[in-house]
Amino acid sequence: MSIGTGLAIANSGLAAIEQQLSVVSQNVANANTAGYSAETSSLTATSAQGIGTGVISGPATQVVNTSMQAQLNASVGNQSFQQTTATVLASIDQVMGTPGQGNDLNSLLGSVQSAFSTLLTDPSNVVQQSAVVTAAQNLTGQINAIAGAIGSAAQTASSGVAAGITSLNTSLAQVGTLNNQIISLAQQGKSTADLKNQRDALVQGIASLTGAKSIAQPSGAITLYTPSGQQLPTNGTLRFSASGNPAVITLGSQTVTSEFTAGSIGAGLQLTGNTLPQLQAGLDSFSQSLANGFATAGLSLFTNSASAIPPSASGFSNVITVNPSVVSNPALIINGTPNNSNTNNAAGYTGVIENVLNTALGGSTNSLAAQATNFTASEAAVSSNAQTASTAANALTSALTTQASTSSGVSIDQQMGMLVTLQNAYAANAKVVTIAQQMWAAEEAMIT
């Protein structure tokens, strides 16, 4: 073997080591980057006519467990769905009151009943009449607060979907750009690992929004699908409209709302299209029963601001109040509304009060107390289930993240060991170059 051949082989080793060092540096720099898969570059011996000519370092590739990555992305989508649901419902929990503490629907309804029972013993007592009005106002105030919280939650969820679609379009367009760049580099035989790591981070973000899964293509590109099988566009053409009921997501002229069932977008759609409307309907139904029950007993104590009971329960909980006529004239509590129950205006008349206690506030299975209990229990169950599911999803995602990091992430110890190996290899190859140069110098000196 000639000195020149030895020098060429050593130089190829130095070049390969330089590329290996670049890969290690990239790995170490991204050791704490979420979702980053370690990169590696393989070494291949070269030869000509059976004689070794050195070594080449191949393009950097990802060390990625695709199965684990898919599981993690699916878990991220579910985690985002459950966490979004739990967070939105928690805002309603904050105004529901605490059973037994006097600030929940049942307790406040009980306070109304107690005020009427006290008034029954002395119907003409002005202070007790005012106490009934105050108790009723506390109840309607709580109904209004809960309805307001449900409305605010719906707005928050809807805004989240709108923001999610905007973010999704941006990420999808970036994936499309990276797809094109990866295809181009792959055709040139160059490394696509860095671009794929960037794309993987985007895909995980898309999974958080939609629960999407990716399918690798032979060209190096990927296609993305929702869990229900809807292919997502990589040109950012999804549109969201919250003006309709329910809200609508379109892809071109096609309505694809039903295809989004996971991720934060899926959670927002579920909340605005199902969960929150059901809670609102339950509260409206209770409000309507409350108003009708008292009206049937001869006292329209609960109405809207126009002293009327609307024919439809829809939205009534937002505007229910104590009848302004009763607020201005509490004596109507014993006279009835319209003022025809106590025709003689007897100070000790108890007919209306007894009707209220026996019918409106009666103890049947369909009573107002039962409805209040059912609504409170329903809201608590929905929220509790969401919190439990969110906790479980967080734990699963955390475990899968750890596993993914172990199988595909960067091991600092491993990279440091690689650095030592590369350092020794560099020193050895550099020594070969030095000796080759010395031998050349000696050979030239002999010739001259």
**Percent of the chain scored above 70 by pLDDT?**
96
Q: Mind listing the pLDDT tens digit for each residue in 297-313?
A: 999 999 999 999 999 99
Which among 300, 305, 310 is positioned nearest to 321, based on CA atoms?
305
pLDDT over threshold 80, residue 289: yes
Helix axes 126-187, 263-270, angle to 10 degrees: 150
Euclidean distance between CA atoms 195 and 98, whole angstroms: 53
Phi-psi region of 83 (alpha: psi -120 to 50; beta: other; left: phi over 0): alpha
Which ranges in 297-343 belong to alpha helices (H)?
A: 316-319, 324-328, 332-335
Q: Please compute the mean of the pLDDT values over residues 142-162 and round it to a whole number.
A: 96
Q: Which residues contact 124 (CB under 8 A, 6 or more apart)?
A: 334, 347, 348
Euclidean distance between CA atoms 394 and 403, whole angstroms: 14
Q: Would you mind telling me the total number of residues written for the chain in this entry?
A: 448
- Of the listed ranges 138-152, 276-290, 384-398, 406-420, the one predicted with least confidence: 406-420
Euclidean distance between CA atoms 226 and 195, whole angstroms: 23
Euclidean distance between CA atoms 275 and 113, whole angstroms: 31
Hey, which residues does 321 pair with through a beta bridge?
303
pLDDT over threshold 90, residue 54: no
Hey, which residues does 177 pair with through a beta bridge?
none
Q: What is the DSSP string of 10-31?
A: HHHHHHHHHHHHHHHHHHHHTT
The domain spans of the chain are 3-63+411-447, 69-396
pLDDT over threshold 60, residue 340: no
Q: Please compute the mean of the pLDDT values over residues 44-69 and round it to a whole number.
A: 80
Euclidean distance between CA atoms 97 and 110, whole angstroms: 14
Contact 302, 246 (CB under 8 A): no
Q: Please compute the mean of the pLDDT values over residues 124-149 and round it to a whole number.
A: 96
Q: Please compute the mean of the pLDDT values over residues 393-402 and round it to a whole number.
A: 91
Contact 303, 321 (CB under 8 A): yes
pLDDT over threshold 70, residue 363: no
Tokens encoding 241: 């409209």
Which among 138, 144, 150 is positioned nearest to 320, based on CA atoms?
144
Distance of alpha carbon 379 from the chain centroid: 19
Q: Please compute the mean of the pLDDT values over residues 409-430 and round it to a whole number.
A: 80
What pLDDT was estimated at residue 448? 65
Phi, psi (rounded to 5 degrees) for 324: -55, -30
Contact 366, 350 (CB under 8 A): no
Confidence of residue 366 (pLDDT cuts 50, 70, 90): low
Q: Mind listing the pLDDT tens digit for each residue in 97-108?
A: 887 788 899 999
Helices and strands (H, E) in the chain, number of each type = 13, 11
Phi-psi region of 309 (alpha: psi -120 to 50; beta: other; left: phi over 0): beta
What pLDDT was estimated at residue 286? 96
36: which DSSP letter?
A: P
Q: Please compute the mean of the pLDDT values over residues 430-446 and round it to a whole number.
A: 76
Q: Please compute the mean of the pLDDT values over residues 234-245 and round it to a whole number.
A: 83
More confident residue, 274 or 431: 274
pLDDT over threshold 60, residue 150: yes
**Strand (E) or helix (H) holding 237:** none
pLDDT over threshold 80, residue 20: no
Euclidean distance between CA atoms 7 and 85, whole angstroms: 66
Helix axes 193-210, 66-96, angle to 10 degrees: 30
pTM for the predicted model, two decimal places: 0.84
**Strand (E) or helix (H) holding 43:** strand 43-48
More confident residue, 29 or 210: 210
Q: Please compute the mean of the pLDDT values over residues 395-416 and round it to a whole number.
A: 82
**Strand (E) or helix (H) holding 363:** none
